[in-house]
């Protein structure tokens, strides 16, 4: 059991952190012996624990007691533990060690985390406030420069390893569906459902420019094959026949995705009201946010998607800044689909500090706006579904990989081999820690002039080979919600823990993982390359399960 000593304003952050690091914990109670105590308060009471983690970017009274000398705050924004690097957003204190101390976190040539051995207890003094860092990640999110660092997940990984390496047996429910490595969610923002609707508007003129002169330039740079160059020109020449109804509309999205994702459960976010750009839209091209279709125009396609096991959510226009309009948008889409609830992703990924409150009051089950237009990676530093701070029910399904971010000339503009490497790094992290990888491929990205469809098929094939669970957004969210509802309780007997869950069976089941303590032997100080060993039990929550965990 972990005891937590945190400042009152951090308690909601603590609760969310331990939903993500799903392990037994409670607020510190005086006189209770804990395996681990995590403290972000300045004044510490009498503590009985095998491991005490003191975390904060200001000097603490315990520093002098431990013989730790502080060197002052630093502007360095990253710290290192073993092979992994984490950005620090809320302040960093560095130290000079003593004879018995060892560095466990470093920044450049300085020490940002130090481990001191005391009789019967190890103390780790971190020069940053763990829970302040988690708050920053779950509210402000990460800047683009650190997007591909799963900072929150690494904070969990470091803490887990420190606990196990101190000779403490640890029980955890990782974010891993039993029988799989991680979850994969295939999503599509539907901004266009055919070029025929657009006449000679700015979208059509933009297409003609990119499909002719732009395509030739990409071909000359080696970024487009001669076959696809010919397809671009044929598509441009076919426009009069598309308008007249004699040629196939090459921007029609649904048939291609249904074929490619057969049986995988795609999630489609559709526009509730056409011709409306939205209110208070930032930027110089706000009027271009309006679309030429809405959900009422695709009722037959929507029915086909639902019959094929797909999900339809709301591609929100004004819900990000208006509860009432959020309700209208939700009602518009669910009125067509017949479902009583839905999730949302905002058009253009618009959001502000009040968006979570608006979406929750409007009645959405989840949001999937947390992501980047400019790059790929972890806006909130995690591959897990999380609850935004201040929300009571709404959860966030983070979006990690977007086609436009990878390939648009004004964004990353990556060649496909490099794009594959960047995506593989995210898959590697998911394979290591679990969670979900959420992909966003737009409606017309598989056709002229983009031709990003073949790359998307390769990504799906790669995900298949990694033994991931393909699920709709709602299925992923519901699985994480069930994991969140599991609680740990002390039970009679030494080291006894009881898992409690009430609800429908969890499918896929959860994994209950028990890490064996490895101590400090066999690895150099600060080296986290030696992965802790564990045993696993598959558990679907059918009944209360008793775990007898004997600490060494």
Section 294-310 average pLDDT: 97
Whether 211 and 305 map to the same domain: the answer is no
- Return mean pLDDT, the chain: 93
- Residue where a domain stops, chosen among 478, 508, 532: 478
Whether 263 and 372 map to the same domain: the answer is yes
Yes or no: say if 5 and 26 are a contact pair by the CB < 8 Å rule: no
Structural domain including 427 reads: 183-194+251-478
- Residue 542 has a pLDDT of 82
Whether 138 and 262 map to the same domain: the answer is no
496 vs 153, more confident: 153
Whether 281 and 217 map to the same domain: the answer is no
Whether 136 and 28 map to the same domain: the answer is yes
Q: Look at residue 500 and tell me if it is in a domain.
A: no
- Residue 98 has a pLDDT of 60
Q: Look at residue 494 and tell me if it is in a domain.
A: no
Whether 204 and 116 map to the same domain: the answer is no
Question: What is the spatial distance between Cα 227 and Cα 532, in angstroms, rounded to a whole number?
Answer: 51
Q: Look at residue 61 and tell me if it is in a domain.
A: yes
Q: How many domains does the chain have?
A: 3
List the CATH number of the domain containing 391: 3.20.20.370
Question: How do residues 359-413 score in pLDDT, each as one tens digit?
Answer: 999 999 999 999 999 999 999 999 999 999 999 999 999 999 999 999 999 999 9
**pTM surpassing 0.85?**
yes
- Residue 455 has a pLDDT of 98
Bridge partners of residue 499, in order along the sequence: 488, 545
Helix axes of 151-165 and 416-433: crossing angle, nearest 10 degrees: 40
Q: Look at residue 71 and tell me if it is in a domain.
A: yes
Of 219, 233, 230, 347, nearest to 282 (Cα)? Answer: 347
Task: Answer whether residue 521 shows pLDDT above 50.
Answer: no
Question: How do residues 30-53 score in pLDDT, each as one tens digit?
Answer: 999 999 999 999 999 999 999 999
Omega of the bond prior to 532 within 30 degrees of 0, cis?
A: no
Whether 118 and 154 map to the same domain: the answer is yes
Of 133, 59, 44, nearest to 95 (Cα)? Answer: 59
Task: Answer whether residue 3 shows pLDDT above 90.
Answer: yes
Whether 207 and 348 map to the same domain: the answer is no
- Residue where a domain stops, chosen among 478, 502, 529: 478
Section 348-368 average pLDDT: 98
115 by DSSP, 3-state: which?
strand
Task: Answer whether residue 524 shows pLDDT above 50.
Answer: no
Question: How do residues 263-283 score in pLDDT, each as one tens digit?
Answer: 999 999 999 999 999 999 998
Tokens of 446: 């598989």
Task: Answer whether residue 549 shows pLDDT above 60.
Answer: no
Whether 324 and 446 map to the same domain: the answer is yes
Question: How do residues 225-251 score in pLDDT, each as one tens digit?
Answer: 999 999 999 999 999 999 999 999 999
- Residue 183 has a pLDDT of 98
Question: What is the spatial distance between Cα 545 and Cα 501, in angstroms, rounded to a whole number?
Answer: 9
- Residue where a domain stops, chosen among 249, 266, 290: 249
Question: What is the spatial distance between Cα 528 and Cα 376, in angstroms, rounded to a whole number?
Answer: 26
Q: Residue 109 — pLDDT band, cuts 50, 70, 90?
A: confident
**H or E element at residue 54:** strand 49-55
Whether 124 and 234 map to the same domain: the answer is no
Question: What is the spatial distance between Cα 323 and Cα 358, in angstroms, rounded to a whole number?
Answer: 5
Q: Residue 547 — pLDDT band, cuts 50, 70, 90?
A: low
Q: Look at residue 531 and tell me if it is in a domain.
A: no
Q: Look at residue 138 and tell me if it is in a domain.
A: yes
Helix/strand/coil (H, E, C) string of 386-436? ECCCCCCCCEECCCCEEHHHHHCCCCCCCCHHHHHHHHHHHHHHHHHHCCE
- Residue 527 has a pLDDT of 45
């Amino acid at each position: 059991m972990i005891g937590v000593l945190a400042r009152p304003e951090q308690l909601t952050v603590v609760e969310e952190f331990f939903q993500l690091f799903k392990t037994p914990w409670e607020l510190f109670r005086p006189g209770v012996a804990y395996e681990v105590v995590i403290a972000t308060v300045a004044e510490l009471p009498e503590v009985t624990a095998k491991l005490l983690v003191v975390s904060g970017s200001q000097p603490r009274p315990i520093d002098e007691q431990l013989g730790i000398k502080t060197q002052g705050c630093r502007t360095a924004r990253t710290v290192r533990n073993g092979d992994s690097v984490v950005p620090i957003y809320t302040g960093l204190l560095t130290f000079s060690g003593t004879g018995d101390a060892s560095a466990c976190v470093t920044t450049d040539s300085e020490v940002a985390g130090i481990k001191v051995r005391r009789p019967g207890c190890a103390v780790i003094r971190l020069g940053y406030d763990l829970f302040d860092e988690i708050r920053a990640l779950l509210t402000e999110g990460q800047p683009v420069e650190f997007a591909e660092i799963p900072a929150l997940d690494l904070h969990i990984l470091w803490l887990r390893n420190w606990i196990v390496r101190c000779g403490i047996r640890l029980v955890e429910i990782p974010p891993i569906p039993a029988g799989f490595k991680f979850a994969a969610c295939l999503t599509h923002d539907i901004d266009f459902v055919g070029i025929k609707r657009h006449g000679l508007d700015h979208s059509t003129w933009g297409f003609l420019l990119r499909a002719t002169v732009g395509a030739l330039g990409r071909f000359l740079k080696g970024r487009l094959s001669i076959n696809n160059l010919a397809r671009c020109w044929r598509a441009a020449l076919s426009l009069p026949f598309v308008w007249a109804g004699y040629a196939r509309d090459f921007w029609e999205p649904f048939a291609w995705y249904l074929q490619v994702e057969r049986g995988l459960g795609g999630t489609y976010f559709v526009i509730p009201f056409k011709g409306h750009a939205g209110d208070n839209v930032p930027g110089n091209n706000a009027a271009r946010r309006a679309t030429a279709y809405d959900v009422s125009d695709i009722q037959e396609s929507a029915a086909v998607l639902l019959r094929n096991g797909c999900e339809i959510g709301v591609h929100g226009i004004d819900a990000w800044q208006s509860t009432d309009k959020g309700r209208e948008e939700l009602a518009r889409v669910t009125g067509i689909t017949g479902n009583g609830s839905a999730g949302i992703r905002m058009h253009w990924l618009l959001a502000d500090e009040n968006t979570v409150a608006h979406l929750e009051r409007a009645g959405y089950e989840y949001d999937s706006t947390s992501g980047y237009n400019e790059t790929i990676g972890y806006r909130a530093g995690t591959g897990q579904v999380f609850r935004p701070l201040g929300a009571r029910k709404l959860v966030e399904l983070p979006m990690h990989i977007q086609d436009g971010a990878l390939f648009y000339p004004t964004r990353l503009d990556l060649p496909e081999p490099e794009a594959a490497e960047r995506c593989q790094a995210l898959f590697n992290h998911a394979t290591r820690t679990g969670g979900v990888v959420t992909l966003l491929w737009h409606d017309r990205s598989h056709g002229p002039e983009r031709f990003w469809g073949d790359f998307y098929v390769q990504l799906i094939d790669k995900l298949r080979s990694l033994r991931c669970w393909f699920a709709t957004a709602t299925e992923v969210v519901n699985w994480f919600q069930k994991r969140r509802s599991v609680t740990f309780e002390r039970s009679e007997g030494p080291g006894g823990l009881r898992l409690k869950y009430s609800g429908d069976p969890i499918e896929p089941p959860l994994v209950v993982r028990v890490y064996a303590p490895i101590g400090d032997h066999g690895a150099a100080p600060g080296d986290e390359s030696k992965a802790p060993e564990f045993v696993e039990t598959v558990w679907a929550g059918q009944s209360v399960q008793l775990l007898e965990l004997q600490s060494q």
